[in-house]
Structure 1
Amino acid sequence: MTGRTILVLNAGSSSIKFQLYDATAEGRLTRRFKGRLEGIGSARPRLLAWDGAGAVLEDRGFRPEEADEVEEAQAAIGGWLVGAMGGPPDAIGHRVVHGGADYTAPVLADAAVLAALEALSPLAPLHQPHNLAPIRSILRRRPELPQVACFDTAFHATMPDLARRFAIPEALHARGIRRYGFHGLSYEYIAGRLPEVAPEIARGRVIVAHLGSGCSACAMVDGRSVQSTMGFSALDGLPMGTRPGQLDAGVVLHLCRDGMGAAAIEHLLYHRCGLLGLSGISADVRELLASPAPGARLALDYFADRTAQAFGALAAAMGGLDGIVFTAGVGENAAPVRAMIAARCAWLGVVLDEARNAAHAPRISADGSRLPVHVIPTDEEGMVARHVVEVLRREGRWA
């Protein structure tokens, strides 16, 4: 393989993240630049980009109508990307939230794959349509350009059958109503980093907490997923920015009987619950930490309480626990939230070092803590880029 460029796109409902990598003949990756267009659908969409050394390359605002939807946002940043790349990339990798039961490894995206993935949109309505919009657009405009879809559900394909089950009739399980797990690209990256940054627990029983606007926790044994807090959809498990996490199904039935339609319930569960619903203020942990309002404290306490409960359940699933890792936006940057969770895990043997935690050190547990606690920045886009190289080599597209 001669030198190639790989563009990675991570398209969400309100932002598009991107990174450009140079790939050597040996498959080594170097990030040339990264950025994001944030505020899609808002009054102030903004493009931000940095080079590989962290220097600002672009900081530009757009008119609301230029980034009203993901496809418009694509067009808004497309010209800048082509100019910054010096030409089109050799391949594009995409983060796709849901691969269902059939896609348990990254694949080249063609029309048939796209159609199958679109059929999964009801399982992840907040993410899947936006993940697929760039694939569809590029397939239409540049069908010869290789695109690789990488799935957040794929890492959890190693979960045992028992962990995948709901207590429902077999016929429904056969129709795909099962636990899938999400945030798999993040967990896969962390699993790959553990032997280097925490070799003493890399092959052991580890809980990794991906805490951001979306949140989940994964139980790993020897770097493989054995259980996840997220299940059939991205609604389950831990409370999130605007999603409730674990919720009695009877609540949904009650709302239905009370006259609320499916679309209204979906909007409620995906957009009005979680930290936003509890606080009545914001879904942003930074704003909640800065607020003296009782609702803000309630939301943070609830979040820490349910996360600690989940840690206990995941430890039970593994028959013990050898370490904890925090990652993603909140997990990497919100020291007070980590401290609140850790305090509720004292019974597991967790003791934080306050200075290390405040400094976001790689290891934030005290020297005398029975369980080591680490903070490891995740890199979902870097994981996607690696998969692009692997898939194109396997398919004979890159010699």
Structure 2
Amino acid sequence: MTSFTVVLNCGSSSIKFALFDAAAPDRHPAWNGKVQGIGGPAPDFGASTVPVGPLALGTEQPYTRALQRIREEILRWLDGRPVAAVAHRVVHGGARYQAPVRVDAQVLAELKALVPLAPLHQPFALEAMEILLREQPDLPQVACFDTAFHRSLPLVEQVLPLPYAAFERGLRRYGFHGLSYEYMALALDERFGAGARGRTVVAHLGSGASLCGMLDLKSVATTMGFSALDGLMMGTRTGALDPGAVLYLMEIEKLTLQQVGRVLYHESGLLGVSGISADPRELLACEADAPRAALALALYVRRAVREIGSMAAALGGLDLLVFTAGVGEHSVVLRQRICAALGWLGVALDDAANARHAGLISAPASAVRVAVVPTNEEWIAARHAQEVLAPL
């Protein structure tokens, strides 16, 4: 009988799930879906065989209730078929966890200490682990870390310009979105071969966003650093910010640490500048009549262009630029605006190819190839679970 690996990708307001054949996971899940809008007024549930519909989670422990609903739906879909393992996307592995690991009480406790470094994601993945450890202790769980892919970063990219003792305590640049970049390294090698092994920048543009500069398909530079706040402007996160602004908020405006955290993680980025939405699609729809929406999008593009330039500088040039994740894969307009501002690097788009979301969207004469490649974090996590549990 076929057994399945369940992959959970837990965020602060959504939980994605996917089921893969545990013996040899196909890149396309046997079943997948998500609960979104958790904690908001109208959460809903949708899966590949179930229409999206409203979900009553209540106001008390909505996240726990969402996990329970997903569990019920998965068991219904399995119809008696076994689960071999559960794989979790975990944003932060810290200095210790640089490879996937089977979850036990000690691992869980150590990962809880990293919650302040990734408060939008870490607590929720750990909640799912804790529930399963308590209720199904014999079910293997594997934690797969977004920071692990960036273990190849050279030391000069890891060290922060603080007293060196801070680096020795773990205050360093880690990098994130590693499961996405790991998949991209594999997919780009398959699609472009040696053409992807040069100076490549992958732009993971979603509600969270970052860039990864790769040489020989290994991470050598990235925009997120010690936390998932660094680098690009995001849906509700600031990206790179003058630390003096944080000191000002606390010292002059008297915001508490908790209030500052909320501003930086939940009230900034596209949402904060526009005052309208964190979703670029909504801002693009109203930018002609909403100056702050237009400003937010202009700033989003400007920050992406500046950071791509910094990646090119770190790589010594640019051969391949790849867009992935929700915005990167689907926003024709933002891809066009970003690439238009990169003409100085030799980037030139084929507008027709970009409009149809083709795999290669650069013009034939472009000095830099530009590609659109869907990411697949869940499959990478399922594969890691298979590898970790193979000797058992």
TM-score interval (norm. to shorter): over 0.9
User: Partner residue of 1:168?
Assistant: 162
| 1:30 to 1:303, Cα distance in 2 relative to 1, 3 A | closer
- Secondary structure of 2:83 counterpart: coil
- Secondary structure of 1:115 counterpart: helix
Matched, 1:302 2:295: no
* Structure 1 CA distance for aligned equivalents of residues 197 and 320 of structure 2: 10
- Structure 2 residues without counterparts, runs of 5 or longer: none
User: Partner residue of 1:16?
Assistant: 15
- Could you tell me which of 36, 50, 57 is aligned with 1:57? 50
- Report if aligned partners of 1:67, 1:73 keep a CA contact under 8 Å in 2: no
* Structure 2 CA distance for aligned equivalents of residues 27 and 279 of structure 1: 42
Question: Aligned-pair distance for 1:356?
Answer: 0.6
Q: For 1:69-148, list aligned pairs within 5 A.
A: 69-87=62-80, 88-148=82-142
- Report if aligned partners of 2:57, 2:65 keep a CA contact under 8 Å in 1: no
**AA matched with 1:84:** W
Q: For 1:255-266, list aligned pairs within 5 A.
A: 255-258=249-252, 259-266=254-261
Question: Aligned-pair distance for 1:60?
Answer: 3.4
User: Partner residue of 1:39?
Assistant: 37
| 1:3 to 1:136, Cα distance in 2 relative to 1, 3 A | same
**AA matched with 1:97:** V
User: Partner residue of 1:53?
Assistant: none
- Secondary structure of 1:351 counterpart: coil
- Report if aligned partners of 1:93, 1:148 keep a CA contact under 8 Å in 2: yes
* Structure 2 CA distance for aligned equivalents of residues 71 and 267 of structure 1: 22
Provide Cα deviations, 1:240-298, integer angstroms capped at 9, x if missing partner: 00011010000011111121110000000001100011111110011011012111111
Q: Identity of aligned pairs, percent? A: 51
- Could you tell me which of 268, 279, 298 is aligned with 2:263? 268
TM (norm. structure 2) is 0.96
Q: For 1:281-296, list aligned pairs within 5 A.
A: 281-291=276-286, 292=288, 293-296=290-293
**Which has the higher mean CA deviation after the structures are superposed, 196-205 or 101-110?**
196-205
Matched, 1:325 2:322: yes
Root-mean-square deviation over aligned CA pairs: 1.4
**AA matched with 1:280:** G
User: Partner residue of 2:355?
Assistant: 358
Question: Aligned-pair distance for 1:198?
Answer: 2.0
- Report if aligned partners of 2:57, 2:66 keep a CA contact under 8 Å in 1: no
**AA matched with 1:218:** C
Provide Cα deviations, 1:146-184, integer angstroms capped at 9, x if missing partner: 000000000001001110011111111111110000000
Question: Aligned-pair distance for 1:77?
Answer: 2.1
* Structure 2 CA distance for aligned equivalents of residues 68 and 138 of structure 1: 16
- Report if aligned partners of 2:20, 2:26 keep a CA contact under 8 Å in 1: no
Provide Cα deviations, 1:13-43, integer angstroms capped at 9, x if missing partner: 111100011133x665662111001111112
* Structure 2 CA distance for aligned equivalents of residues 68 and 340 of structure 1: 41
